Amino acid sequence: MSTDYRPMWKELGLDLEAHDALLGVLGPLYEQTFTRQPQRPEGMKYFDFVMSEVHGLRIKELVDARSSGRKVVGSFCTFVPEELVLALDGILVGLCAGAEFATPEAEKYLPRNTCALIKGAFGFALARVCPYLAASDVVVGENTCDGKKKGYEIFKDLVPNLYVMDLPQTKSAEGRALMRAEFKRFGTYLEGLTGKKLTADALKKGIAAVNAKRSVMHRLGKLRAADPSPISGLDGLLMNQIYFYDDPARFTGSVAKLCDELELRIKRNEGVAPKGTPRILISGCPMAVPNWKLPAIVEKAGAIIVGEESCVGARGTQALTADTGKTVDELLDAVVDRYLKIDCAIFTPNASRVEHVLAMAKELGAQGVIHYGLQFCSPYQIEAGPVEKRLEKEGVPALRIDTDYGQEDIGQIQTRVEAFVERLRG
């Protein structure tokens, strides 16, 4: 960052000293994890730039947008419908919580056996180091897992502007009706916040922008099926993470440009690792910025990650929203139908998720799946058993890794991943 953003951060109410400490760790971690990868596509330079300015230029854009009357909506979950936010001229940003920060402070509010994602969200808020949280006019919480649901009861006192959305636990008709009612309530809330009216035209535009963003991620996902892989798993994950922060149209254009480059690479048989490198699909809990621990270990162990069945990945971007409706109600129905397809483990039963994992492994030519569970995340850790069993039954080797954001278990994970990669080679 060449510009001095400190006055802006101060204005947003960040704790400058703690924020410096965070950036002091993030910068070198990014350098070490991403920029030294061999044969990176040229198009990744844009995403490097975005990351270098993730607390700078992008926040300035949000601050400027707010000055011009637009509203910023912060979200922790892929169930929050960006189509509605865009339709009301708002900006949706992800609130990452992908690192440990101020954990002892967070543990004054939460039991120690709370997942790292929730603790991270509390830690970032308590330490006042997240400019996205500070720049949000509203923070949307969602009643998904128990940890989040109960956590928001406390979180509401830590931020001035929490809005909680109820979400179904089943994909039944009643579950759909609940989601429909809650999306409608959210739309009405956003109308009040922005002072704008939700119209069919505006909703169509919102749907088109998000569909374009998701479509380009589908294109990228398909290109990762090539062997040799034209892009590393770390860079694939990075784009799925930046998906939540960047301006939608600019992001879509930049991924499309990168895809053009990857197509040329594939034609020339060029890749980031030799043909025949063991290919792995990651499945499980979301990996928010800067959670790059497991992918870095996997790729260092000589494998390549070819896809992520994750909210920060194909689970979050799967399925487009039908745009044929003529009225707000018809379009809202289409939005609900699309979001109800998300195979999050908070649903019971959630049988479609394992089918999605199997289909992805097949399409991407993955020889094995690593199931990533965050410690104390009951939905995914419990679902991991049946998912693993089914994969092995279908002849897809699977490895379960349960971890958190700490560094202490890196050696142990490395050993297990190396043994798994050897199994895949065999």
**Alpha carbons 84 and 207: distance in angstroms, whole number:** 8
Region from 12-20, 98-106, 237-245, 372-380 binding ligand SF4, contact rule CB under 6 A: 372-380
Query: Strands (DSSP E) along 111-257, which ranges?
Result: 138-143, 162-166
Could you tell me which residues are beta bridge partners of residue 420? Answer: none
In the complex with ligand SF4, the residue whose CB is nearer, 19 or 315, is 315
Helix (H) or strand (E) holding 280: strand 279-284
Rule CB under 6 A: choose which of 33, 136, 144, 318 binds ligand SF4. Answer: 144
In the complex with ligand SF4, the residue whose CB is nearer, 220 or 311, is 311
In the complex with ligand SF4, the residue whose CB is nearer, 47 or 79, is 79
Rule CB under 6 A: choose which of 59, 234, 285, 391 binds ligand SF4. Answer: 285
Rule CB under 6 A: choose which of 145, 210, 328, 364 binds ligand SF4. Answer: 145
Six token digits for residue 167? 């979400």
Region from 133-141, 143-151, 184-192, 327-335 binding ligand SF4, contact rule CB under 6 A: 143-151
The single-letter code of the amino acid at 202 is A
282 touches ligand SF4 by CB under 6 A: no
371 touches ligand SF4 by CB under 6 A: no
287 touches ligand SF4 by CB under 6 A: no
374 touches ligand SF4 by CB under 6 A: yes
Rule CB under 6 A: choose which of 75, 78, 291, 367 binds ligand SF4. Answer: 78
Q: Which residues contact 334 (CB under 8 A, 6 or more apart)?
A: 207, 321, 322, 323, 324, 325
In the complex with ligand SF4, the residue whose CB is nearer, 355 or 422, is 355
Could you tell me which residues are beta bridge partners of residue 93? Answer: 74
* Cβ burial, residue 286 (10 Å; 0-12/13-18/19+): buried
Residue 73 phi/psi, 5° resolution?
A: -115, 120
Rule CB under 6 A: choose which of 56, 147, 236, 278 binds ligand SF4. Answer: 147
420 touches ligand SF4 by CB under 6 A: no
Place of tokens 């790729």: 299
Rule CB under 6 A: choose which of 94, 278, 286, 307 binds ligand SF4. Answer: 286
117 touches ligand SF4 by CB under 6 A: yes
**Alpha carbons 309 and 158: distance in angstroms, whole number:** 32
Residue 132 C-alpha from the chain's centroid: 15
In the complex with ligand SF4, the residue whose CB is nearer, 93 or 374, is 374
344 touches ligand SF4 by CB under 6 A: yes
Binding mask 28-67 for ligand SF4 (x = CB under 6 A): ----------------------------------------
At CB < 8 A and 24+ separation, what contacts does 407-416 make? 407/293, 410/293, 410/297, 413/293, 413/294, 413/297, 414/297, 414/300, 414/301
**Alpha carbons 281 and 233: distance in angstroms, whole number:** 9
The single-letter code of the amino acid at 334 is A
Could you tell me which residues are beta bridge partners of residue 321? Answer: none
313 touches ligand SF4 by CB under 6 A: no
92 touches ligand SF4 by CB under 6 A: no
In the complex with ligand SF4, the residue whose CB is nearer, 44 or 346, is 346
List interacting residues with ligand SF4 (CB under 6 A).
Answer: 77-79, 115, 117-118, 144-145, 147-148, 285-286, 311, 342, 344, 346, 374, 377, 379-380
